[in-house]
Amino acid sequence: MYSWQTLASNPQLWPKYLVKQEIIRATRSFFEARGYRELESPILSPALPSERYLNFLATEVGGRELYLIPSTERYNKIGLAAGIGNHFVVTKVFRGLEQISPNHRPEFTMLEWYHLDGTYFDIMNDTQTLVCSMLERLGNTNYKITYQGSEIDFSGNWHRQSVDELLQQHANLSVSDIADWNDLKQIVIDLGFLQNKDATESQMSWQDLFELLFFNKVEANLDPHKPTFIYGYPRILAPLAAPDPENPLVSQKVELYIAGKEIANGYTELRDGDLLEKNLRAEYAARELMGLPVAKFDDELIAAIHSGIPAVAGIGMGLDRLAMILADAKSLDEISLFSL
Amino acid sequence: MAITSNIFLGQTVKYNNELYTIIECQFAAMGKGSSFKRTRLRNIVTGKVIPITFKDGDTVDEVEVDKFNVQYLYTDQNKAYFMNPISFEQFDFPVDGIPSEADFLHVDAIYMASRFEENIISIVLPMKITLEVIEAPDGVKGDTAGNATKEVIVETGAKMQVPLFVKRGDKIIINTESRSYVSKG
């Protein structure tokens, strides 16, 4: 049965489908009130800051390859070099996926905002206030919702924990214990999360091993009743984020989890053009090594960063997943009028 | 040995030297290092359910189990009772271990049981099942669009969305996996 058929005969379901529209309206009011500019991002891009595990979709115009943006990041940063200042963007972004799932669609609506003179701690504050303003817009005044039978409390301060603290708490490990591939592989095998003990580095990369440890020991144990910011990820996981000056192993990257779902990903942005270029070249090389398609190298972005951007923190938030939680929907299908 | 990209619901696997049935399986975190399978495994002996995320391409041991058809008899509190129509052997199985629980258990349908060393470890529903509609509101007056639907209750108690022309007493064919109406029976 198509969504529109269900809706045509069950008009009482419409409020669920309208949650996303309401949170977009709340977003515009929120940033307008703070004097942010709205950037209109192109959907097609001539080059990408391609990360090793970010699969993109490409198309061709007049024999030239163009890319459907997987995020608006390059446009935000080029805009910052041009002097746009504090700004936000709401647009469709695209990912190459091997499958559609209840939490994954190849196209989704992304909100990104860039907070000048801010760090990732400032965007954590912004995120809390923004989501509460969305709840107000939806008529929720106590900032508590029920998602799939379980309460989530958005009021007050949300959890903020570093990857190092979470590893200590749930696995008795520190970020330095897992820095080496061989050590991490042994840890993951000992915990029983990797069955193929002979896996080589090309079959099971450091990132894969980290995700296995993280999904099974950390993500599975996050508080389901309160949103959680996780920050301070190992540097290889965030080539576009600024390193943490106090711990060279980690970067100033933050992810937001609500109801076990990853909702947002932000950084204190890396402003060192040389380091950015070095990190991105490594990502391109990794993709080539894995036999994955490589987008045209983003020289314009590197040039923009070299020309100088202000100190800034930025974040991307998946509005469909957030709407799904606020609408108490189990799957993205339940809030999408059109099927794919 | 099964590669995790091939693991499927209802499969029996050996994990850390214990046997489990895969009761939930979905893609997780695509775009974060190829892809992962987020599963929930039910321990065959203890019934305990554990969540485990596997990396696609990792290997798990698949266990050979004895599979045979069974007929549903009745449900009593938390247990459903089944019979092997050939040997007439009867056994029970916890309702919460059956996909969709008691929503699609009917005496006329044939289910698939799996046994490993004397223990029944899973019950799998037929892909399609025919059930009688026992409660149906009248179609909304004036609404003649062919694609409108309404909610009805079938004889097992499950609620279903069906086209407006379906009436009480009709037999309908249901896809048990997607829980959706297929056609009139």
- The shortest C-alpha distance from A273 to chain B (Å) reads 25
**Structural domain contains residue A166:** no
Question: What mean pLDDT is predicted for residues A105-110?
Answer: 95
DSSP string, A87-151: EEEEEEEE---S--BTTB-SEEEEEEEEEET--HHHHHHHHHHHHHHHHHHTT-SS-EEEETTEE
> Is B27's CB within 8 Å of A199's CB?
no
Cα(A130)–Cα(A49) distance, integer angstroms:
28
Give the one of A99, A195, A216 whose C-beta lies nearest to B59's C-beta: A195
Q: Domain B128-184: which topology?
A: OB fold (Dihydrolipoamide Acetyltransferase, E2P) (2.40.50)
List beta partners, residue B39. Answer: B25, B52
Distance from CA of A99 to the nearest CA of B (A): 8
More confident of the two residues B10 and A95: A95
Please write the tens of the pLDDT for every residue from A138-150: 999 999 999 999 9
What's the CATH code of the domain at A92?
3.30.930.10
Pick the CATH number of B66-124 from 1.10.1070.11, 2.60.40.420, 3.40.50.1370, 2.40.50.140: 2.40.50.140
Contact A215 B16 (CB under 8 A): no
Check whether B20 has a pLDDT greater than 80.
yes
Instruction: Name the residue ranges covered by the structural domains of chain B.
Output: 3-62, 66-124, 128-184
Task: Tell whether the model's pLDDT for residue A308 goes beyond 90.
Answer: yes
Are the Cβ atoms of A5 and B15 closer than 8 angstroms? no
pLDDT at residue B34, as a whole number: 67
Place of tokens 């998946």: A318
Query: Are A207 and B180 a contacting pair at CB < 8 A?
Result: no
Nearest to B180 among A1, A97, A207 (CB): A1
Query: Across the interface, which of B59, B61, B149 has its CB nearest the CB of A6?
Result: B149
* Cβ <8 Å between B33 and A208: yes
Question: At A306, is the secondary structure helix, strand, or coil?
Answer: helix
Q: Do B53 and A212 touch (CB under 8 A)?
A: yes
Count of structural domains within chain A = 1
pLDDT, one tens digit per residue, over B65-102 is 888 999 999 998 889 999 999 999 999 998 888 877 88
Chain B residues with CB under 8 Å of A54 CB are 31
The answer to whether domain B3-62 and domain B66-124 are alike in fold is no
Is residue A246 included in any domain, yes or no?
A: no
Residue A171 lies in a domain: no
For the whole model, what pTM was predicted? Answer: 0.81
Query: How confident is the model at residue B15, as a pLDDT?
Result: 87
Average pLDDT of span B130-151: 74
Residue in the structure block whose two tokens are 């695509």: B30
The overall average pLDDT reported for chain A is 94
Confidence of residue B168 (pLDDT cuts 50, 70, 90): very high
**Nearest CB partner across the interface for A53, out of B26, B33, B145:** B33
What's B3-62's CATH class? mainly beta
Domain holding A323, by residue range, is 3-158+277-335
Contact A53 B32 (CB under 8 A): yes
What are the chain A neighbours of B175 within 8 Å (beta carbons)? none
